[in-house]
Structure 1
Amino acid sequence: MDKCDIIQQIMFDWDKYSVEELFEMTKDFPLKLLRYIAMEHPDNFVRKAFLELLM
């Protein structure tokens, strides 16, 4: 799966994955994409988890 597919999975099908699985899917992402997910994700819990990951 390429990064675009992973981002679509995270943004639209996040309820299928645990937070740990989401982190594993994005482990090779640059900070720019992680910040994007942290700011734009529709679910507050996932946004908070990615913001905490960045800190």
Structure 2
Amino acid sequence: MVPIFSVIDACDREVIAWSAVADAGISGEMVCDLMIAAVKRRFRTSGPTPLEWWS
């Protein structure tokens, strides 16, 4: 089984970033990396931005 996790924009319901892992669990570091990638892609910035994450 391949776990897949994604970040979806709640406003326009676009998948901003996603990741899949073969034969492994999902670590907290992987989730943090995905969140950072989603912020960079969505806002085209790497600086600190206040965000609200829904899970």
Whose strand fraction is larger, Structure 1's or Structure 2's? Answer: 2
Whose helix fraction is larger, Structure 1's or Structure 2's? Answer: 1
Larger-Rg structure:
2
